[in-house]
Chains A and B, each alone.
Chain A
């Protein structure tokens, strides 16, 4: 399927770019720190059976960088307003890494449009004593090697020279990522206190070999969200939607079908 054309909607004065494709239950995909500039194969697969909505967060990709972008709470309110603006109903929210963190922050603030939640290798919660990677100290090659378990896949990604456009987008995304996730690094110490407010069916998908946010973080989140189910994906790093796209898409679609 061809990638859908980007549209845009103003959120609190910021032009938020988004793409929407497919029909079926509405799936709101919240991207991670790498952004969602490209329409990835896993999105195309999901759009075969879902109404897939993919915004680029303020500060990322084609979206504007608003003066109000100071922290993760601003991205939580943007998601709530984005869902209002598009009048998304019975939304199955899927968040990867930073996107999972934003989803939880939105959910604890009251997100009645949300029907289910899938968190994929989510940031947002620090599990005490579980080591994390430092994405801000990694160079481009080190990042690929750290987030992907399959090192052949990592080397292939490293070997692909980025275009000037990609370099610009990567710099922009990295800035926005740092803006919200530099300190406290990749988490909000206050979030844990309110995760019990998430009452929708919740599943966590986690690469068993995630080195950026090891699965111990998933165990901690699963403990704090009532009824949450943690599924680990073997031989897989921080980006199961890319590394194990088949299994990941099946798990997302299966969970949505159940709820």
Chain B
């Protein structure tokens, strides 16, 4: 198994009163709640944490893009990944992901990712996402064009990375006379591509396609939903006539390791509950603007996830019971992740060791305990399902 430390960089200092005074931590939450002096501390602490993960032997570190929200103050993961590129030595740097349709020109993304890949001598993993519904409000980008723009931007980026330039690209949204990237990426044919998603059928169909075989990452969902979507990926791959490997499957989940189960739960409780209640909040209209997903997929998301994700299950016990949060002493956490690995068969595990309001000292302790007492048990875990199937 490959283990990544994945960070969202929440604005942890957000006034708890916003839970009742505002209907969302996105789009319309006034940025008067952001204090740059506090922001400076948070950014530097968070980057210290990511750098520590490299020294602690994580296979990789993951950063993330979200806009105009207290949920994550990392609108440009490129900025953070660039800084990490020079401050880390071994860890892969996974940008999970860049929101393709939100960029006016996808070639800027192709260039920036290629630069980081070259600077790090091939440590980059490129995540490609559409951006979440709320960001189509924040950027004014038309959600009904989201899928088409994503696919076209992807095709343009792959062309720029793989075909000797200059070439030209003729698309509906992007029409480029000269595609001639300087620099080209370090890795051949290009950095690995990962697709984080919350369970969209269209995304799974697309990622699993034999032309791509991109790694699919299910982001914080109940374990049953993760199992369902990872199984769906395998099924779709089977329908395409090949067997998906564990390598193509990943799961991102918040994790807290305490000295023992009791203290872990006591310590994590306020911070994971704040994550759920304070930062993940948004209205249905923000989450699913018209056209962002197909009608069928929208119903699927509502059925499988919305209940669990945005309304119910905000208390820690519920989150632990549904497998949306892994928490306990080192033995408990290792056992839970081993069990999930056996039943789901993923090779990429992305642990969010900072979540919600979890402060710096507790995050560093969580990182240490995870790296020293849990990770050594996980890394040797090998392919499961591909051979069993």
Q: Within the complex, which residue of A136, A171, A184 is in contact with B137, where a contact is CB–CB below 8 Å?
A: A136
A171–B295 alpha-carbon span in the complex (Å) = 8
Asked if B143 contacts A178 (CB within 8 A), the reply is yes
Q: What 1/0 mask marks residues of chain B from 63 to 92 whose CB sits below 8 Å from any chain A CB?
A: 000000000000000000000000000000
Q: Within the complex, which residue of A138, A177, A184 is in contact with B290, where a contact is CB–CB below 8 Å?
A: A177
**A19 close to chain B: CB less than 8 A:** no
The stretch of B38-46, B280-288, B308-316, B368-376 that contacts the partner chain: B280-288
| Contact residues on B (Cβ < 8 Å of other chain), bracket | 10 to 19
A-B contact count (CB 8 A): 41
Q: Which residues of B contact A177 (CB under 8 A)?
A: 290
**A255 close to chain B: CB less than 8 A:** no
Asked if B144 contacts A139 (CB within 8 A), the reply is no
A39–B329 alpha-carbon span in the complex (Å) = 65
Q: What 1/0 mask marks residues of chain A from 127 to 153 whose CB sits below 8 Å from any chain B CB?
A: 000000000111100000000000000
Asked if B137 contacts A137 (CB within 8 A), the reply is yes
**B291 close to chain A: CB less than 8 A:** yes
Asked if A136 contacts B144 (CB within 8 A), the reply is no
Q: Which residues of A contact B141 (CB under 8 A)?
A: 183
Write the nearest CB–CB distance from B69 to chain A, whole angstroms.
15
**B29 close to chain A: CB less than 8 A:** no
Asked if A175 contacts B284 (CB within 8 A), the reply is no
Known: A137-B27, A137-B137, A183-B142. A178 touches B284 (CB 8 A): no
**A244 close to chain B: CB less than 8 A:** no
Q: What 1/0 mask marks residues of chain B from 328 to 355 whose CB sits below 8 Å from any chain A CB?
A: 0000000000000000000000000000
**A182 close to chain B: CB less than 8 A:** yes
A139–B285 alpha-carbon span in the complex (Å) = 6
Q: What 1/0 mask marks residues of chain A from 141 to 175 whose CB sits below 8 Å from any chain B CB?
A: 00000000000000000000000000000010011
Write the nearest CB–CB distance from B311 to chain A, whole angstroms.
14
**A185 close to chain B: CB less than 8 A:** yes
A80–B289 alpha-carbon span in the complex (Å) = 30
Q: Within the complex, which residue of B137, B140, B142, B283 is in contact with A179, where a contact is CB–CB below 8 Å?
A: B142
Residues of B106-152 at the interface with A, using a CB-CB cut-off of 8 Å, are 136-137, 140-144
Q: Which residues of B contact A184 (CB under 8 A)?
A: 140
26 pairs across A/B with beta carbons < 8 Å?
A136-B137, A136-B289, A137-B27, A137-B137, A137-B285, A138-B285, A139-B284, A139-B285, A171-B295, A174-B290, A175-B144, A178-B142, A178-B144, A178-B289, A178-B290, A178-B291, A179-B142, A179-B144, A179-B291, A182-B136, A182-B140, A182-B143, A182-B289, A183-B140, A184-B140, A185-B140
Given known contacts A182-B289, A185-B140, what 16 new A-B pairs fall within 8 Å (CB)?
A137-B27, A137-B283, A137-B285, A139-B283, A171-B290, A171-B295, A174-B290, A175-B144, A175-B291, A177-B290, A178-B143, A178-B289, A178-B290, A178-B291, A179-B291, A182-B140
